[in-house]
Structure 1
Amino acid sequence: MRSDVESSPVGEGLGQRDFWLYVWLRRAAVIAAHVTGLGLTLIISLLSRPGTSLFSWHPVCMSVAALVLIAAATGLGFMVASKNVSELPHLVTWHSLLGICTLAATVLQAACGICVIFPKLLRPSSSPPRLKLYHATCGLVVYLLATATVVSAMFSYWFQAMVKGVAWWAFLLLPLFLALVVMNQITNAYLPRKKITS
């Protein structure tokens, strides 16, 4: 009888048939999340009709911001310019406050990522495995904040004028589905697994 301690793999305790079903369902969820994320970005970009106003560039840049930090800063710039032209106050909605928090967390996550890539050059006080955990945790926080920001945008006058009825509910649920898949991937990949004895 072995008494050493080992990590328990995901899906342990399932029968062979159940395990393969679990693996294929996970793969299907990951593919669906990628397709949904890309589709949501494209649809929001089409709905905003970029170029029709300063504001029209804000949803485009911010929906692409999951791919590039520069797009997020550009989207923020268009929103600030649009508010200035319209003489409207800044940071007065949940959407804007969540957006600023998301951008701040994204900068922190990018900084952790740079430390992970160049540990010898920057000489951070934490070990590389711990930095990877911080980077992944910040990434999860960024994604959850971004999801909350996108969901709060769906309650804006602009979005409710563009999308109505059942489609609005579908748009509301899509980011939540994506968040569940991403949370599952990050926690399975980076969080310490439960130790078992055999």
Structure 2
Amino acid sequence: MVQGKESEAEARLYRCTRTVAAALTHVLCIAFTVFLVFLSRPGSSLFSWHPFLMSLAFSFLMTEAILLFSSHGSPIRKFAHKTKGRIHWALQGLCVTCAVGGLAAIAYNKHLNDKPHFTSWHGLLGLITVCVVGLQSLAAAPLIYHSLAKGWSLAKLKRYHAASGLVTYLLGCSSLLLGLCSTWFTGSVSSYIWYLSALCPALSALVIMDQVSRTYTAKKRLQS
């Protein structure tokens, strides 16, 4: 009897912790993106579109696309899984569009100012991330159109997609963190604001890693 109450209390604490973590991630990704909008003032220059579009792509759209499948923090938790999948793909499509736009903005800006391209870790990782997120979105097509997945089980495709998607998300967060080390950002904020800004993609990455790993660990336990 006592053990049952303890288990119920632990389960309640677990659900509460996961719900708070998911809610915090929603707040962080929105706050980070809004702050970058305020700081970059998109439209004020060609360069301003780069931080705005990249933060919109990887901080907001990609985070929200993954959180759709969170059992504790999804804003559409009661929707069918198929509907979640289509909305996820739409958000990822917007993410790719914004990422390509952000990459084009910085590339053209460097061209106009006769500066070399992709000479920093931020630039190189950003280029790799944009290419990977594009491929990741295309590779997800068989999950929606199952006729394309000939010879592959849907369960295996989902596992591969989740694993590669997590790697892609971590690349995006790393690109954002490296972007915070740029001369433009460090020259625009105080050290206190810098650390607060860096916490946003770092904490979001931890929550998303936990969500994906727990989801597929639980599925393996059910299948075994």
Shorter-chain TM-score bucket reads 0.7 to 0.9
1:118 is aligned to 145
* Structure 1 residues 62-83: Cα deviation after superposition (integer angstroms, max 9, x where no partner): 1111322111111111011100
| 1:55 match: secondary structure | coil
Letter in 1 for 2:202: L
CA distance in 2: counterparts of 1:92 and 1:15, whole angstroms:
54
Q: 2:195 aligned to 169, 173, 185, which one?
A: 169
The reply on whether 1:24 has 2:16 as its aligned counterpart is: yes
TM-score normalised by the chain length of structure 1: 0.86
Please list, as runs of the form range in 1=range in 2, the aligned pairs for 1:1-198 lying within 5 A after superposition.
15-66=7-58, 67=61, 68=94, 69-120=96-147, 122-191=148-217, 192-194=219-221
Pair 21,51 (structure 1): closer, same or farther in 2 beyond 3 Å: same
Identify the structure with the greater helix proportion. 2
Instruction: Using structure 2 for the length normalisation, give the TM-score.
Output: 0.77
What SS class does the counterpart of residue 184 from structure 2 fall into?
helix
Shift of 1:162: 1.2
Structure 1 residue aligned with 2:91: none
The answer on whether the counterparts of 1:144 and 1:179 sit within 8 Å (CA) in structure 2 is yes
> CA separation in 1, counterparts of 2:33 and 2:143?
29
The answer to which of 81-90 and 165-174 deviates more is: 165-174
Shift of 1:124: 3.7
- The alpha-carbon deviation at position 194 of structure 1 amounts to 4.5
3-state secondary structure, aligned to 1:155: coil
Question: For the pair shown, which has the larger CA radius of gyration, 1 or 2?
Answer: 1
State the aligned residue count: 183
Structure 1 residues 196 and 48: CA distance shift in structure 2, 3 A: closer
Unaligned runs of 5+ in 1: 1-13
Give the whole-Å Cα distance in 2 for the aligned partners of 1:154 and 1:170. 11
Offset from partner CA, 1:117-173 (integer Å, 9 cap, x none): 1121x2444211111111111210111000100000111000001111211111112
Return the structure number with greater relative CO, CA threshold 8 A, min gap 6.
Answer: 1
The one-letter amino acid paired with 1:175 is: P
Deviates more, 1:90-99 or 1:188-197: 188-197
Distance in structure 1 (CA, Å) of the matches to 2:164 and 2:127? 15
Q: Which runs of 5 or more residues in structure 2 are unaligned?
A: 1-5, 62-93
| Higher deviation after alignment, 86-95 or 183-192 | 183-192
1:72 alignment partner, SS class: helix
The sequence identity of aligned pairs, in percent, is: 35
Q: Taking structure 1 as reference, are residues 60 and 194 closer, same or farther at Cα in structure 2, changes over 3 Å only?
A: same
C-alpha RMSD of the superposition: 1.8
